């Protein structure tokens, strides 16, 4: 399942958050949106998810236009920066939520829901925590619950907003490696937002660099470092040799 974005623009109260952005994420790829804060990377992710709607431009999932579809119809799995877990529901119920709100006709049987939630708990290595509440988990555990919850609806693509932003340095490193392994196993087309270039370069197949709502350069980590397209990319990546 690929993602294609064509000339997407979005303004908030006169301020251009994203301008004329075009990206293509190939099936099974893991791509990072990298940029300083206020560069429009989160807005771009929300436009792709259907949480915002563009002023102009189009969004395609695997060749099918989804620009005018609402968030759920696009079936994108979304992991929020601060996880946005349902505080009053247990870990189990958080993950089962997306299955339980389906209309009766397509809702899986109760036993099947239980089975699928347990599979997901296993996948994110939280089997022992099914009955806990979000407030009883560490940051890294919450992050994985949020991921399992997003995966429960069998999303066509996975979108992650600063997935490691709220974690401390050690957990962050572990989770980073875990996400890469996880992606290699599932091959689900994924796009994640980060402001940390080390993170982007270590995890992603391809990196999209944004600044002031404009895409500066797209390429594999090695290419970006070898051939920065402009002075911003050069400075932002902290490259200490001359172009």
Of 153-172, binders to other proteins (CB under 8 A) are 153
Does the footprint of other proteins cover residue 59 (CB under 8 A)? no
Of the residues 16, 71, 130, 166, which one makes contact with other proteins according to CB under 8 A: 71
Residue 238 CB: number of other CB atoms within 10 A?
7
Of 104-143, binders to other proteins (CB under 8 A) are 133, 135-136
Q: How far apart are CA 188 and CA 198, in angstroms?
A: 22
Candidates 43-51, 57-65, 111-119, 218-226; binding stretch for other proteins (CB under 8 A): 43-51
Does the footprint of other proteins cover residue 178 (CB under 8 A)? no
Identity of the residue, 141 or 217, whose beta carbon is nearer to other proteins in the bound complex: 141
Q: Least Å distance between CB 189 and other proteins?
A: 16
Q: Least Å distance between CB 52 and other proteins?
A: 8
Q: Least Å distance between CB 174 and other proteins?
A: 23
Does the footprint of other proteins cover residue 199 (CB under 8 A)? no
Does the footprint of other proteins cover residue 53 (CB under 8 A)? yes
Does the footprint of other proteins cover residue 10 (CB under 8 A)? no
DSSP letter string over the chain?
--EEEEEEEEEETTEEEEEEEEEEE-TT-EEEEE--TTSSHHHHHHHHHTSS--SEEEEEETTEE-TTS-HHHHTEEEE-TT----TTS-HHHHHHHHHHTS-TTTPPPHHHHHHHHHHHHHHTT-GGGTT--GGGS-HHHHHHHHHHHHHTT--SEEEEESTTTTS-HHHHHHHHHHHHHHHHHH---EEEEES-HHHHHHH-SEEEEEETTEEEEEE-HHHHHHS-SSHHHHHHTT--S--
Identity of the residue, 37 or 135, whose beta carbon is nearer to other proteins in the bound complex: 135
Q: Which helix (H) or strand (E) holds 95?
A: helix 91-100
Does the footprint of other proteins cover residue 60 (CB under 8 A)? no
The binding track of 74-93 with respect to other proteins, each residue x by CB under 8 A or -, is --xxx-x-x-xxxxx-----
Q: Where along the sequence are the contacts to other proteins (CB under 8 A)?
A: 49-53, 68-73, 76-78, 80, 82, 84-88, 97-98, 101-102, 133, 135-136, 149-150, 152-153
């Amino acid at each position: 399942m690929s993602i294609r974005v064509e000339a997407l623009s979005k303004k908030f109260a006169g301020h251009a958050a994203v301008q004329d952005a075009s990206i293509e994420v190939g099936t099974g790829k893991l791509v990072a949106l990298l940029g300083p804060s206020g560069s429009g990377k989160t807005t771009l992710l929300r436009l792709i998810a259907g949480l915002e709607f563009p002023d102009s431009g189009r969004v395609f999932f695997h060749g099918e236009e989804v620009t005018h579809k609402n968030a759920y119809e696009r079936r994108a799995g979304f992991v929020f920066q601060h996880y946005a877990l349902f505080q009053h529901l247990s870990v189990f119920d958080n993950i089962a939520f997306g299955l339980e709100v389906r209309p009766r006709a397509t809702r899986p049987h109760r036993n099947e829901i239980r089975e699928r939630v347990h599979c997901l708990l296993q996948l994110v290595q939280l089997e022992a925590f099914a009955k806990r509440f979000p407030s009883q988990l560490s940051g890294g555990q919450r992050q994985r619950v949020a991921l399992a919850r997003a995966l429960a609806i069998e999303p066509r693509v996975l979108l992650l907003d600063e997935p490691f932003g709220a974690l401390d340095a050690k957990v962050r490193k572990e989770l980073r490696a875990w996400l890469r392994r996880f992606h290699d196993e599932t091959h689900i087309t994924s796009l994640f937002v980060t402001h940390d270039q080390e993170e982007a370069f270590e995890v992603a197949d391809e990196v999209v660099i944004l600044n002031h709502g404009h895409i500066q350069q797209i390429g594999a980590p090695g290419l970006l470092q070898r051939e920065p397209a402009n002075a911003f990319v050069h400075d932002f990546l902290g490259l200490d040799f001359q172009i």
